[in-house]
Structure 1
Amino acid sequence: MKTSSTARRACLALSLLLLPAALAQAAPGDDFGSCLNRLQGAAQAKGVSAASFAQFTQGLQPDMTVLPLLDAQPEFTTPIWDYLAGLVDDQRVADGKARMAEHADLLRKVAARYQVDPATVVAVWGVESDYGRITGKRPLLVSLSTLSCYGRRQSFFQGEFIATLRLLQQGDIRDSGITGSWAGAFGQTQFMPSTYARIAEDFDGDGHRDLVGSTADALASTANYLRKAGWREGQPWGYEVKLPAGFDASLAGRTKRRALSEWTGRGVTRVDGKPIPSIDSKAAILLPAGISGPAFLVLRNYDAIYSYNAAESYALAIALLSDRLRGEQGLRTPWPTDDPGLSRAQRKELQELLIQRGYDIGQPDGMIGDVTRKAIQQEQNKRGMTPADGRAGQKILNALKGG
């Protein structure tokens, strides 16, 4: 940790007294050590001792590469047909069914205590970390301290940084070098630190709430979160539906809720032909790709899923994966695109085909990064494909498979 001069600390203290709290944030050119000094006072007010703060922040340096990620979250920047193709594919469904069989007894106990069904809990697990395989590689304290001092939403990340320090001090987290996502989510079901502090459960009874190493704690904590978010036992999240001709798209939107009977009275039906149960509930219509794409009738349980990560594509991924884990069919209505997204197996196949053509993109892993996108773009240009945007879709895959 960098240390500041006495004069600089004095000036900083004076400025904080004069500025409104909303403006008392570090600017990009400010010294990181000064920011940490300021955060120490806030942490102490939340119960983090001076000794703990010094211990856990010793040698901490910012990682400025996290800042661009604030505006590049895939839930908001990726076409929904790409986002869902990679998250709700046959591989994730098969793996999820295997996990449900493996942990059947645990999931029954979790469902009995928290009244959330196994398929939904496992779907969160699958979307968040590929069933514990991918939990993030960025050191939490580094990312959160950087986001606390630079960029936008500093006050939010300061709260998460302090929550992490408290978890370390209390022993809920036992490794100060713990890693997670760039934004600070960590563990098998990717809780933010403040959520971990409020919601995490010690379900295996070992005296620690361990969402990293304990599958029992992770799945129980996820069910606890959904229950506290308003999950209603025995009710569906919603359905893919067929809209009547001339449906007014302005009626759609997650917050534009109407009585379920009103939607059915307007001619909204399930695409699978089954009746919509008469539930005393309000519902909303979602059109994530517009009136010409799939339509969904969503109920209260969808909102509980949505609260886990406030993005429609994310909530739909969990909802649709949970349906597949129950043995139901996937989407029936095609997305309004002539270039649908690729599953992870297809992305890996695409990478293998690029390697065969001499592109040095590393080991094929189904993860489309900058190097793969540049190779795709070069191949698109060679073939006169437009737009040459480096996107991994069915068109470029089929083109490469054709020679």
Structure 2
Amino acid sequence: MPAGCRCLLAGLIAWTLALSIAASAPARAADAAFAQFIASLWPEAQAAGVSRATFERETAGLEPDYKLPDLALPGRPSTGAGGQAEFVQVPAAYVKEATIARLAAEGQRLMQKYKAPLDRIEAMFGVPAPVVLAIWGRETDFGRYTSPHDALKVLATQAYAGRRKDQYRTEFILALKMLNDGDVSRKDFRASWAGATGLTQFLPSDYVKHGVDLDGTGHADIWHSVPDALASAAKQLADKGWQPGVRWAYEVLAPVNADCTMGVPEFKQPIGEWIRARYAPVRRLSATEVAQPASLLQPEGTYGPAFLTTANYFVIKQYNFSDLYVLFVGHLSDRMTDPSPFRTPWSASSQLKTKSVEAMQKHLARLGLYSDKIDGKAGMQTRAALGAYQKSAGLKVDCWPSEAVLNAMNAGR
């Protein structure tokens, strides 16, 4: 090779190497800062009862995962809730009939297989077998789904760079304590991107508060023991206010002139009052049920099924803060004993993108119609506020966030 070419090649190699070093410098600096952050947590871990040996072993070589959603990284737009299905899918896609039917059939089989522990669980916590089985089915497909992430890495990353740092700092310390106490091995400690782990998907704080050792092994094993996982789910519901003998919700046929702006948890009245207002239950109710207080839920606004939701609806919602999640779990639990689908089918609605819903919420907030979180999730409060806007603007009142309504808002600014 001529000398000039060799010099040129050497220069190119040196230039490429310099670029590589420069590009990796921020990453190394970030990782060094991450390592320093983890090391700074030792006093908190020690105070929680974590040994120095456990801390050193479990944090050695621990690196952040910046591909996780819900992070707040400089120069990178927030990824929100990672496109959670509960918040981006239309009801028909999330509460999919084929999936419900498959899981219900499996749930019936499991109800017999685990009859003895399920009977104990209901006696202890008042939560029926179909409900805890439905949570297991929704969360991990009855154990067929394995969480993809190392739990400690997820929790450490969220504590360091997440949008909810303080919450995850606590979760990370509790995870170290679980490893320290032998509740779970690092190999089995797999989690979702948000840090939920086990057959019934608990955060470490949930495990500490609600974990149940039903089979008497000395540890609440929500990763391998079905009785422990189901009992822990039942205890979590009971601790959050589950009322024994009360259904999660009742499907009703709404009147044509139904006011969808009433669909907020704060507006509740006895089911008998809803019936007098021509909200017709699709099944016969007892006198006790008719006297129960309930609020209106119309997940697709004036389209699709309507429900009267009880206190237990909102207890399940504390397990996962999504109306579609509760509908899935509640309906799946019903289908284990009754094969009937919802009487009213879902409509062929489309779902606005998160940013569009967020823009809609901001506009509603400016008008004084909405005071909840600006989060891009079209929940009960957003739908009711939207209906109030539609009333004031002389639009069709359907409480459903559509492109047409967003365009009307933009045109009216």
TM range, normalised to the smaller chain?
Answer: 0.7 to 0.9
8 Å CA contact 2:131, 2:333 repeated in 1: yes
Q: Secondary structure at the match of 1:70?
A: coil
Q: Distance in 2 between matches of 1:153 and 1:30?
A: 21
Match of residue 317 from structure 2 = 306
CA shift digits 1:110-142 (9 cap, x unpaired): 212221111111111110111111130211001
- Label 1:136 to 1:43 Cα distance change in 2 as closer, same or farther (>3 A): same
Q: Which runs of 5+ in 1 are unaligned?
A: 1-26, 341-403
Q: Distance in 1 between matches of 2:349 and 2:62?
A: 48
Match of residue 304 from structure 2 = 293
Q: 2:144 aligns with which of 130, 133, 153?
A: 133
8 Å CA contact 1:201, 1:209 repeated in 2: yes
8 Å CA contact 2:154, 2:191 repeated in 1: no
Does residue 64 (structure 1) correspond to residue 75 (structure 2)? The answer is: no
Structure 2 matches for 1:3-402, cutoff 5 A? Answer: 31-67=33-69, 68=79, 70-85=81-96, 88-175=99-186, 178-272=189-283, 274-275=284-285, 277-279=287-289, 280-337=291-348
CA shift digits 1:255-314 (9 cap, x unpaired): 432233322221211124x23643443211101111122101110111111111111111
Q: Secondary structure at the match of 1:124?
A: helix
Offset at residue 254 of structure 1 (A): 3.1
8 Å CA contact 2:296, 2:308 repeated in 1: yes
Q: Distance in 2 between matches of 1:184 and 1:336?
A: 34
Q: Distance in 2 between matches of 1:31 and 1:175?
A: 24
Q: Distance in 2 between matches of 1:55 and 1:336?
A: 53
8 Å CA contact 2:31, 2:63 repeated in 1: no
8 Å CA contact 1:282, 1:299 repeated in 2: yes
Q: Which has the larger radius of gyration?
A: 2
Q: Distance in 2 between matches of 1:339 and 1:260?
A: 31
- Label 1:295 to 1:275 Cα distance change in 2 as closer, same or farther (>3 A): same
Match of residue 3 from structure 1 = none
* TM score, norm. by length of structure 1: 0.73
Q: Distance in 1 between matches of 2:273 and 2:52?
A: 59
8 Å CA contact 1:240, 1:270 repeated in 2: yes
CA shift digits 1:180-231 (9 cap, x unpaired): 2111111111111100011001100111110001111111111111111211
8 Å CA contact 2:297, 2:309 repeated in 1: yes
Supply the RMSD in Å over aligned alpha carbons.
2.2
Q: Distance in 1 between matches of 2:350 and 2:193?
A: 30
Aligned residues: 313
* Amino acid across the alignment from 1:202: D
Q: Secondary structure at the match of 2:218?
A: coil
Q: Distance in 1 between matches of 2:147 and 2:80?
A: 14
8 Å CA contact 1:240, 1:296 repeated in 2: yes
* Amino acid across the alignment from 2:40: R
* Amino acid across the alignment from 2:203: M
Q: Distance in 2 between matches of 1:142 and 1:154?
A: 14
* Amino acid across the alignment from 1:113: M
* Amino acid across the alignment from 1:81: A
Offset at residue 43 of structure 1 (A): 2.5
Among all aligned residue pairs of Structure 1 and Structure 2, give the percentage whose two residues are the same amino acid: 35
- Label 1:249 to 1:276 Cα distance change in 2 as closer, same or farther (>3 A): farther
- Label 1:28 to 1:238 Cα distance change in 2 as closer, same or farther (>3 A): farther
Q: Which runs of 5+ in 2 are unaligned?
A: 1-28, 70-78, 352-413
